[in-house]
Chains A and B, each alone.
Chain A
Amino acid sequence: MMTAIIKKELLQLRRDPRLVALIVVMPLVLLILFGVALKLEPQNVRMAYFDGDQSFFTNLIKTGLWSDGYFDLYEVESKEMIIEEIRSGRAKAGLYIDKDFSALLTENKQPHITFFVDGTMPSLTTAMKYNSDSATDEGVTNDMYFTDADADNVVIAQDPFIMDTEILFNPDEKETWFFLPGVIGVLIMQIALILTGISVVREREKKTLEQLLVTPMSKTTFVIGKLLPYVVIALLDFYFILAAGWALFDLPQPNSHLLLFILALIFVAVMISLGLLISLIARTQQQAMFIAIFIIVPSILLSGFIFPLEAIPDIVRPISYVIPFTYFVEIIRALLIKHTQFSDLISSFVSLSAFALLFVSTSILKFRQTL
C-alpha cells in the first residue's frame, strides 16, 4: 500500500512539468548565483575624505587605502561633509586628516587621523575596519620615520601616526539595530507574497474564477480589488511588527514617521502586487509557493540585508538593484538609524515606486478574462 502511495506521489509530481522545472532549475540557479555573489570581501567601498594637509605623507596613506581596491576614495570639503556623505548613503566610510599632519609627523609627535565607518551594517563595518589596516601598512609608514644621525638617541614611537576609528550611527555596533529593520521587511515580504501569491491561483483551482470571469468586471477592477485589501492588511501587519520591535528590542525611532509610513505603503504595494503577479503566472498553488521562495531567498541574500552590497561582485550587482527589497533595506536603515534626509533618499523611493507601478500594470496586462 505504501509503495502505491509513493508511486502515486511521484507520478503526480512528474505530471507537473513546471513544478519539476522549478525544483531542478531553481536550486541550480540560486547555487550558482550565490556561489559567485556571496563573498565577504567588500570592494570599491565609497570613502569620502578630507585631507587638510595635502602632503606627500597623506598621499601615501590615501594610496595605501586605494591600492587594494577596497576603498574608492573621493574628496569632500570638510569633516562635517564626510559625516553627511555617510549619512546620505553616498559613502560608507570616511577619512579625515588634519592640516598639521606633516608638521606633527616630522616632529615625531604621532599625529592622529580619523577613519569613519558607517555602523549600520556590522559585517561591512568589521570588514572596513580590517581593510583600513592598509593605511598603516609598512609600505606606507616606512618613509615616515625621521631619525637624525647626529642627534641623541631618542625613543621613536612605534607607529609614526595613529589612526582612530570612529563608528557612526551605531557606535555600539548593535546587531539588532542592523538586522531588525530588514527583518521587518523580510517578514512583510513573506506575508505579502504568500497572501496574494495564492489568491488568483486558488480561485482557478477551486473553479470560482470561471464564475467570476463571466461577470462584467474590468481587468483593472479585478486587479485593484484583489490588491487593496491585502495592502491594508500587510500595512497593519508592518506596524504591528514594528511596534513589537520597539517594545521588545531597543529599535530606534525614525527621523520622520511620515517617510516611514510612505516607505511601508510603497513596499507593501510592491510586495502585494508582486504576489498577485506570481498568482497570475502560476497554474497551481504549489507553483506559486515555489516562485515566491525563488524570489524571497535571493532578496534576503543579495539585497544588502545580510551581506553588504559592496561585497557583491559587479557582475551580480545588477541583480541586487532589480530586487525591490534592496531599496527597502537601504531606506529603512537610513530612516531608523542614520536619520537620513528625504532628499538623499528620493532615488530609492522612486525606484521602489517604479516596481509597484511595474508589477500592478503587468498584472493588469497579464490577467486574462478567459480561462
Chain B
Amino acid sequence: MINASHLIKRFNSFTAVNDVTLNVDKGQIFGLLGPNAAGKTTVIRMLCGILECDGGEIRLNDKTVNKAKTDFGYVAQHFGQYEELSVRENLQFYARMYEVDDEQWLSSLLDRYALSSFKDQRAGTLSGGYKRRLALACALAHEPEILFLDEPTAGIDPLTRKLLWDDFYRLSTEGKTLFVTTHYMEEAQRCHHLAFLSAGQIVAEGSPESIKHALNNASVYSTSIPYLPELREALVKMEGMILVNQFGHELRLVVSPVIDKSDLETAIQTITGKPPSLHLSEPNLEDVFIALTQEQPVKP
C-alpha cells in the first residue's frame, strides 16, 4: 500500500533522511518510532508529497503521490485546521476539497468523534483533544484508504489516547492503512509493525515483539535500587554498558556480552556496599528504543 524506497532528504548540508526504505501492507498500522529530530516528520511529509525528495521513490496504492492524493488523508503534528471556522465548517471545507458533500456522512463523522455538540463552535476554542479529533475527522472526510498521522496523540491525555487508538484499530479492520509516527512506547506497542528511525536511518524493523530482539545478544538486567547519582555514573562508565535506565526504584541495565552478571554485581556493591539481587529480564520496547537511538546507535 505504501512503498518507499531509498528516500533521501537533505536540508543544506544536513542529511535529515538517509536511505529510508519502508513497505506497509494494506490494513496495517505501521509505527515509525524515533526520538525528536530523527526525521519522522520529514519522512511522513515526503510520503504525503508536501516535501520534495532528494532521492528515492514513493508509491502509494501503486501510484505516484500526486496521483494518489485522494487515496490518503494526513493529520499534521500541529493543528492545521482553520481556527476562525467552526468545527462543521472546517469539516465541510476539507470534504469539498475532495468534492465530498454528503452532509449525512459528515454529521456521522462528527458523531463518531464526539464533535456534534461542538459543531458550531470555532475550532480555535477547542481543547487539544478535540482539536485532534477534528483534524482526524477532516482527514477522513473523503474516506481515504491510507491515513498518515504525525504524532497523533502527542500532548493528549491517556483516556483520549485510548479512544483514538480504539478508533485506529477500527479503521484498520475496515481495511485502511495507517502510518503513525510516535515517540511513545505505549503507542508503539499498539502498532502492528514498527520501524525505528534514528538520525535519518532505519535502525530496526519488525513487529513490536520481534523488534525487542533487535538488541541481539545484549542482555537486560533489572534490580530494585533507589536512584544513586554516583552509582549511575560508575555504571555508565563500564565498558560494554549500553543503557542505564531508572524507573522509580527499578534500575534496568542493558549490557553487551562483555559484561556478565557478576561484573554488574561487583560494580553495584562497590557503590552501595551490599550485593544486589539482579534478575535477567526480557528487553522491553523502551530498552531497545533508547539503546538503538542513543547518540551513537549500537549496531549489534
A371 at the interface (CB under 8 A from B): yes
A210 at the interface (CB under 8 A from B): yes
Is the Cβ of A207 less than 8 Å from the Cβ of B79?
A: yes
Is the Cβ of A213 less than 8 Å from the Cβ of B50?
A: yes
Is the Cβ of A211 less than 8 Å from the Cβ of B51?
A: no
B residues in contact with A35, CB < 8 Å: none
Measured in the bound complex, the distance between the Cα atoms of B81 and A234 in whole Å is 26
Is the Cβ of B52 less than 8 Å from the Cβ of A216?
A: no
Chain B nearest CB from A243 CB (Å) reads 29
Interface string of A351-371 (1 = CB under 8 A from B): 000000000000000000111
Is the Cβ of B49 less than 8 Å from the Cβ of A369?
A: yes
B271 at the interface (CB under 8 A from A): no
B residues in contact with A21, CB < 8 Å: none
Is the Cβ of B74 less than 8 Å from the Cβ of A211?
A: yes
Within 8 Å by CB of B48, from A206, A209, A214, lies: A214
Chain B, residue nearest A217 (CB): B97
Measured in the bound complex, the distance between the Cα atoms of B139 and A211 in whole Å is 9
B residues in contact with A210, CB < 8 Å: 45, 50, 76, 78, 80
A residues in contact with B97, CB < 8 Å: 212, 215-217
A208 at the interface (CB under 8 A from B): yes
Is the Cβ of A216 less than 8 Å from the Cβ of B48?
A: no
Within 8 A of A (CB), among B45-101: 45, 48-52, 69-70, 72-74, 76, 78-83, 94, 97-98
Interface string of B83-125 (1 = CB under 8 A from A): 1000000000010011000000000000000000000000000
Is the Cβ of B78 less than 8 Å from the Cβ of A370?
A: no
Chain A, residue nearest B148 (CB): A214
Chain B, residue nearest A209 (CB): B80
Measured in the bound complex, the distance between the Cα atoms of B98 and A150 in whole Å is 103
A residues in contact with B83, CB < 8 Å: 206
Interface string of A145-178 (1 = CB under 8 A from B): 0000000000000000000000000000000000
Given contacts A215-B94, A215-B98, A216-B97, contact A370 B70 (CB under 8 A): no
Q: Is the interface of B mostly helix, strand, loop or mixed?
A: loop
Chain A nearest CB from B198 CB (Å) reads 23
Is the Cβ of A207 less than 8 Å from the Cβ of B49?
A: no
Chain B, residue nearest A208 (CB): B80
Count of A-B contacts judged by CB separation below 8 Å: 51
Is the Cβ of B69 less than 8 Å from the Cβ of A207?
A: no
B residues in contact with A214, CB < 8 Å: 48-50, 69, 72-74
Is the Cβ of A371 less than 8 Å from the Cβ of B80?
A: no
Is the Cβ of B50 less than 8 Å from the Cβ of A207?
A: no
Chain B nearest CB from A2 CB (Å) reads 31
B residues in contact with A207, CB < 8 Å: 76, 78-80
Chain A residues within 8 Å of chain B by Cβ, number: 15
Chain A, residue nearest B73 (CB): A214
Within 8 A of A (CB), among B129-175: 135, 138
Chain A, residue nearest B45 (CB): A371
Is the Cβ of A208 less than 8 Å from the Cβ of B51?
A: no
Chain A nearest CB from B65 CB (Å) reads 9
Interface string of A59-98 (1 = CB under 8 A from B): 0000000000000000000000000000000000000000
Chain A, residue nearest B71 (CB): A216
Given contacts A215-B97, A216-B70, contact A370 B80 (CB under 8 A): no
B residues in contact with A209, CB < 8 Å: 80
Is the Cβ of B50 less than 8 Å from the Cβ of A370?
A: yes
Is the Cβ of A211 less than 8 Å from the Cβ of B80?
A: yes
Chain A, residue nearest B150 (CB): A210
A residues in contact with B79, CB < 8 Å: 207
Chain A, residue nearest B97 (CB): A215
A residues in contact with B49, CB < 8 Å: 213-214, 369-370
Chain B, residue nearest A206 (CB): B83
Measured in the bound complex, the distance between the Cα atoms of B45 and A78 in whole Å is 72
Is the Cβ of B76 less than 8 Å from the Cβ of A370?
A: no
Within 8 A of A (CB), among B8-54: 45, 48-52
Most buried by B among A206, A209, A211, A370: A211
B residues in contact with A215, CB < 8 Å: 69, 94, 97-98
Chain B nearest CB from A44 CB (Å) reads 52
Measured in the bound complex, the distance between the Cα atoms of B94 and A255 in whole Å is 47
Measured in the bound complex, the distance between the Cα atoms of B70 and A292 in whole Å is 37
Within 8 Å by CB of B69, from A206, A208, A216, A370, lies: A216
Measured in the bound complex, the distance between the Cα atoms of B81 and A212 in whole Å is 9
Measured in the bound complex, the distance between the Cα atoms of B79 and A244 in whole Å is 43
Chain B nearest CB from A77 CB (Å) reads 63
Interface string of A183-223 (1 = CB under 8 A from B): 00000000000000000000000111111111111000000
Measured in the bound complex, the distance between the Cα atoms of B138 and A216 in whole Å is 14
Chain B nearest CB from A220 CB (Å) reads 15
Most buried by A among B69, B70, B135: B69
The 9 closest A-B pairs by CB, nearest first: A211-B80, A216-B69, A215-B97, A214-B74, A207-B78, A213-B50, A207-B80, A210-B76, A214-B48
A-B contact pairs, 24 of them (CB 8 A): A206-B80, A207-B78, A207-B79, A208-B80, A208-B82, A210-B50, A210-B80, A211-B76, A211-B94, A211-B135, A211-B138, A212-B80, A214-B69, A215-B69, A216-B69, A216-B97, A216-B98, A369-B49, A369-B50, A370-B49, A370-B50, A370-B52, A371-B45, A371-B51
Q: Known contacts A211-B135, A215-B98, A369-B49; can you find 20 more A-B pairs with CB under 8 A?
A: A207-B76, A207-B79, A207-B80, A210-B80, A211-B74, A211-B80, A211-B94, A211-B138, A212-B80, A212-B97, A213-B49, A214-B48, A214-B49, A214-B72, A215-B69, A215-B94, A216-B69, A370-B49, A370-B50, A371-B50
